[in-house]
């Protein structure tokens, strides 16, 4: 078929063969034009084959080198590979948990920096896979544009966060007022510049590859940047909304691995052959119990339950408030069968503990599907891990594939069932308005209160 096309005899619609070229065009002597056309056809055919590739046609990525510390290799040299991996994963897991506790102690700002760092590393790991699979290191400007788009999207989301939660600080800085006032226009202009740069960088022989990678970059941004923004939004609602969901996912990962390692017999899903029903069920019950206990312990402290706010007078984040009813002990009547077992009529619980059951259930039943999705992704591109950043665990994305689903669920859960008007946030939004706008709001509010009979007309608000 390709040969017929090159000769000008490719069948047309209905099976008819196109007429041969006119004498003055091909046979006459314009051999240079014909040669150039043939080369372009070969290039288009070669890159067109990318659209029809099967999974088996995707090039394999070389396995990552082992980054296990030599001291661990020597200490575990006498063990089988199964138990060696078990110990390496265990030691590194405890190390990461210890570092996580240290960052929690250092405060909310350090947690935000941690989220940002994890987001950038996850973006790097996913984008690198795309570069390797599609052999696109020579795509003009594309590596630079990928990171430029990451910068633009972060500028947009973090700018929105500054506008929402740092209004009192922004009000004091004239330059920041300008940036916040025109934030969305500036963000759009920055993205538009990157879009135009991409269009200008298109090269004929790379069209398909470049659009593949353009889509790859934007999906990666959706997965990493958007979700990390939601994690930070959850953190501002109170550190407990950050810690309980994240620790529930971590608990589910650990307990499901342990139950599967020691008791696993029945495969759960083909995408992850090592996952078992025993691990899945054991992880579910362990996570619900853990979340319930963790919610009880954290609900006692203002540091964890109060919304994170920026105080301009002390120039730092503070977590001081009168805890809402969600974090105050309430008495609940027990069901009849529990009254018999526990021999008491009521039990005192924090309302947040009941919500923690919903969070833990999602973390253990739906959260793992983020891991299954990642497993399918890795199988599609013939890789074992996203990277080799953490010995025994793989890349950062391998450890946080379930966290992104969890972040979205918690944000939706808070906005649907929890969040009410935040007086401090409303006040901050009023402070950034112009005096005329503030006066109009004051008059509207006063009229409304008088109509409702809450305020007497002769009284001043």
Provide, rounded to the nearest whole percent, the portion of the chain with pLDDT above 90. 40
115 φ/ψ sector (left φ>0, alpha ψ -120 to 50, else beta): alpha
Chain-centre distance of CA 331, in angstroms?
38
Give the pLDDT confidence score for residue 160 in this predicted structure: 87
Cα(358)–Cα(153) distance, integer angstroms: 31
Give the pLDDT confidence score for residue 450 in this predicted structure: 66
The single residue listed with the structure tokens 């009941």 is 354
Cα(249)–Cα(433) distance, integer angstroms: 41
Q: What is the pLDDT of residues 423-440, one digit of tens each?
A: 555 555 555 556 776 677
Residues 6+ apart with CB under 8 A from 107: 317
pTM across the whole model: 0.76
Statement: residue 109 has pLDDT above 70: yes
φ, ψ for residue 460, nearest 5 deg: -100, 140
Indicate the range of 21-25, 257-261, 291-295 predicted with least confidence.
Answer: 21-25
Of residues 8, 27, 26, 3, the one with CA closest to residue 18: 8
SS3 for the chain is CHHHHHCCCCECHHHCECCCCCHHHHHCCCHHHHHHHHHHHHHHHHHHHHHHCCHHHCCCCCCCCCCCCHHHHHHCCCCCHHHHHHHHHHHHHHHHHHHHHHHHHHCHHHHHHHHHHHHHHHHHHHHHHHHHHCCCCCCCCHHHHHHHHHHHHHHHHHHHHHHHHCHHHHHHCHHHHHHHHCHHHHHHHHHHHHHHHHHHHCCHHHHHHHHHHHHHHHHHHHHHHHHHHHHHHHHHCCHHHHHHHHHHHHHHHHHHHHHHHHHCCCEEECCEEEEEHHHHHHHHHHHHHHHHHHHHHHCCCHHHHCCCEEECCCCEEECCCCCCHHHCCEEEECCHHHHHHHCCCEEEECHHHHHHHHHHHHHHHCCHHHHHHHHHHHHHCCCCCCCCCECCCECHHHHHCCHHHHHHHHHHHHHHHHCCCCHHHHHHHHHCCCHHHHHHHHHHHHHHHHHCCCCCCCCCC
Q: What is the pLDDT of residues 21-69, one digit of tens each?
A: 444 444 444 444 445 445 444 544 544 444 444 445 555 555 556 666 6
Give the pLDDT confidence score for residue 279 in this predicted structure: 94
340-360 mean pLDDT: 92
Statement: residue 5 has pLDDT above 50: no
Give the pLDDT confidence score for residue 427 in this predicted structure: 53
């Amino acid at each position: 078929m390709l040969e017929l096309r090159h000769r000008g005899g490719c069948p047309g619609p209905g099976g008819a063969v196109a007429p041969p070229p006119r004498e003055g065009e091909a046979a006459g002597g314009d051999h240079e034009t014909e040669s150039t056309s043939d080369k372009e056809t070969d290039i288009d055919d070669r890159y067109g084959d990318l659209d029809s590739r099967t999974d088996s046609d995707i090039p394999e990525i070389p396995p990552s080198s082992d980054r296990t510390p030599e001291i661990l290799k020597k200490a575990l040299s006498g063990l089988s590979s199964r138990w060696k991996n078990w110990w390496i994963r265990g030691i590194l897991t405890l190390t990461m948990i210890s570092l996580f506790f240290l960052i929690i102690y250092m405060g909310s700002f350090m947690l935000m920096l941690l989220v940002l760092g994890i987001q950038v590393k996850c973006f790097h790991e996913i984008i690198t896979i795309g570069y390797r699979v599609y052999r696109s290191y020579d795509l003009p400007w594309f590596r630079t544009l990928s990171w430029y788009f990451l910068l633009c999207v972060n500028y947009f989301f973090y700018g929105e966060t500054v506008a929402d939660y740092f209004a009192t600080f922004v009000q004091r800085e004239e330059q920041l007022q300008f940036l916040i006032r025109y934030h969305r226009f500036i963000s759009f202009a920055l993205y538009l510049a990157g879009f135009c740069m991409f269009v200008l960088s298109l090269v004929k022989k790379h069209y398909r590859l470049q659009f593949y990678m353009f889509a790859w970059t934007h999906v990666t941004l959706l997965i990493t940047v958007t979700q990390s923004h939601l994690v930070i939004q959850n953190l501002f609602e109170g550190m407990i909304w950050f810690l309980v969901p994240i620790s529930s996912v971590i608990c589910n990962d650990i307990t499901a691995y342990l139950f599967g390692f020691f008791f696993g017999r029945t495969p759960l899903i083909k995408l992850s052959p090592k996952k078992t029903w025993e691990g899945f069920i054991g992880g579910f019950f362990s996570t619900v119990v853990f979340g319930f206990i963790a919610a009880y312990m954290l609900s006692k402290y203002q540091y964890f339950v109060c919304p994170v706010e920026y105080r301009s007078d002390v120039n730092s984040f503070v977590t001081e408030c009168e805890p809402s009813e969600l974090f105050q002990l309430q008495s609940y009547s027990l069901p009849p069968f529990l009254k018999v077992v526990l021999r008491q009529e009521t039990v005192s619980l924090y309302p947040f503990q009941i919500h923690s059951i919903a969070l833990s259930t999602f973390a253990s039943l739906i959260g793992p599907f983020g891991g299954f999705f990642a497993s399918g992704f890795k199988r599609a591109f013939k890789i074992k891990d996203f990277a080799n950043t953490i010995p025994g665990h793989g890349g950062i994305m391998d450890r946080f594939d379930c966290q992104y689903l969890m972040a979205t669920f918690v944000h939706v859960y808070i906005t649907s069932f929890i969040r009410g008007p935040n007086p401090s946030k409303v006040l901050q939004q009023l402070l950034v308005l112009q005096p005329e706008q503030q006066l109009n709001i004051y008059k509207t509010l006063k009229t409304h209160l008088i109509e409702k009979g809450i305020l007497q007309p002769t009284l001043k608000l």
